[in-house]
Amino acid sequence: MLETIWFMLWGVLWAAYFMLDGFDLGIGTLMPFLARSDEDKRYMYNAMGPFWDGNEVWLITAGGATFAAFPTAYAIMFNGLYSALLLLLFSLIARGVTFEFRNKVEGDGWRSLWDIFHFLGSFLPALLLGVAFANIFAGIPIDKDGIFHGGLFTLLNPYGILGGILFVLMFLTHGALWLAVKTQGDLHARAIETAKKTWAAQVIVAVIFLGATWIKTDLFDNYFKYPYLIIIPLLGVGALIIMRTFIKSGTEVRAWITSSIHIVGVALFGVAGLYPRLLPSSMNPDYNVTIWNAASSQLTLKIMLGVALVMVPIVIAYQTWVYLFLGHKLSKNDLEYEEAY
């Protein structure tokens, strides 16, 4: 029972990370294509300014929760995906420093350097997270001792790459919509136009991905076994369709919220399909890492559940407050503010 609750929490933490940092990664990836001036770039940095660091903690918590609740899965996943995870880590480090570094020295060369770091540090995590999760959905080559037989390129199979592209597109739309929430005028209009285009691409890739998931994975089995779970993908698909109406009518806050629901839906669709597996083995189903063979002791799960039930609502409360308090549209004044990025 506790194992199942922790499995759900595990899924929710990853979904929350994708939903929150997803828009940061999306804006960072869009930057070289969307920004026409240094001012545009500064609007983009400041649109993420007060939020990105708090968003990234959801990744640390998702990793920490994996470690705490399913230490065996944590050990096998992080060991097996060594190169991919370190690449993700370096990318996130590269992105993280740019906010503080970029405006500390005058000069185009200096700023371009950090803009490149920022782009790579946004695009690569989006891609890698998608590749990693698609591979987990399909199963990774782990043997009975949990040893991973492969390397970075094992993960770059067609289905993995498709997952990567889907994540990048999801985050691009999500980022464009958050940028629209935070800006006005010309940049706002371009953000909306971008969202329309990436949305269309996202729909196409999502359909292909669903089809490939049907062929390549057994995620759907759980939806036949527990039909009520179908609500999750339905919510995801519904949000994706409704999003388009909101983008078109220029109600970007609603569009961003539906995009959030969509991302959560996609993540939970995969996670629910995995249950009770955390890391399916593509070598033999007997080698699957499941919540039963990877979980912590009952005592640890109980204590951690207590911590999560108290702390997560508090975190959600103050982070929501921050979004409401600082979610306003940026103006020239905000860029002139002396502590602005």
Partner 1 sequence: MDVVMLSRLQFAAASMFHFLFVPLTLGLSVLTAIYETMYVRSGDKDYKRAAKFWGKLFLINFALGVVTGITLEFQFGTNWSAYSKYVGDIFGPLLAIEATLAFYLESTFIGVWIFTWDRVKPKTHALFIWLVAIASNISALWILIANGWMQRPVGYVLRNGRAELENFIAVITNKFGIYEFFHTVSGAYILGGFFVMGISAWHLLRRNEIRFFKKSFRLAATFTLIFALFEIFNGHLHGSEVAEAQPAKLAAMESLWVTEQSAPMYLFAIPDEENEKNSVELLPIPGMLSLLAHHSPDAVVKGLKEFPKEERPPVVLTFISFRIMVGLGFLFGLIAILAWIKRNRIENAQGLLKILVYMIPLPYIAIETGWMVAEVGRQPWIVYGLMKTRDAASVLTTSQVWISLTAFVVFYSFLGLIDFYLLAKYARKGPEAIK
Region label for 139, one of left (φ > 0), alpha (ψ between -120 and 50) or beta (otherwise): left
Contacts to partner 1 from residues 34-93, by CB under 8 A: 49-54, 56-57, 59-61, 63-65, 67-69, 71-72, 74-79, 82-83, 85-86, 89-90, 92-93
Can you state the angle between helices 231-248 and 252-274, rounded to 10 degrees?
160
How far apart are alpha carbons 43 and 269 in whole angstroms? 34
Residue 281 three-state SS: strand
Q: In this structure, are strands 277-279 and 289-290 parallel, antiparallel, or unpaired?
A: antiparallel
Nearer to partner 1, 82 or 226 (CB): 82
C-alpha to C-alpha distances, 19 to 27, 170, 173, 231, 257, nearest whole angstrom:
13, 10, 12, 19, 10
- Give yes or no for a contact between 283 and 141, defined as CB atoms under 8 angstroms apart: yes
Cβ 274 to partner 1 shortest distance, Å: 19
Structure tokens at 249: 């009518």
C-alpha to C-alpha distances, 340 to 42, 101, 246, 330, nearest whole angstrom:
9, 12, 30, 11
Nearer to partner 1, 24 or 252 (CB): 24
- Give yes or no for a contact between 183 and 191, defined as CB atoms under 8 angstroms apart: yes
Nearer to partner 1, 93 or 204 (CB): 93
The yes or no reply on residue 230 touching partner 1 (CB under 8 A) is no
Binding string, residues 278-297; x marks residues near partner 1 by CB under 8 A: ------------------xx
Structure tokens at 177: 């919509």
140, β-bridge pairs: 281
The yes or no reply on residue 326 touching partner 1 (CB under 8 A) is yes
Cβ 98 to partner 1 shortest distance, Å: 9
Cβ 11 to partner 1 shortest distance, Å: 16
Contacts to partner 1 from residues 129-168, by CB under 8 A: 147-148
Nearer to partner 1, 79 or 184 (CB): 79
Cβ 216 to partner 1 shortest distance, Å: 26
The yes or no reply on residue 229 touching partner 1 (CB under 8 A) is no
Nearer to partner 1, 101 or 223 (CB): 101
- Give yes or no for a contact between 124 and 91, defined as CB atoms under 8 angstroms apart: yes
Binding site for partner 1 (CB under 8 A): 49-54, 56-57, 59-61, 63-65, 67-69, 71-72, 74-79, 82-83, 85-86, 89-90, 92-93, 96-97, 99-101, 104-105, 147-148, 296-297, 299-300, 303-304, 307-308, 311-312, 315, 318-319, 322, 325-326, 337-340
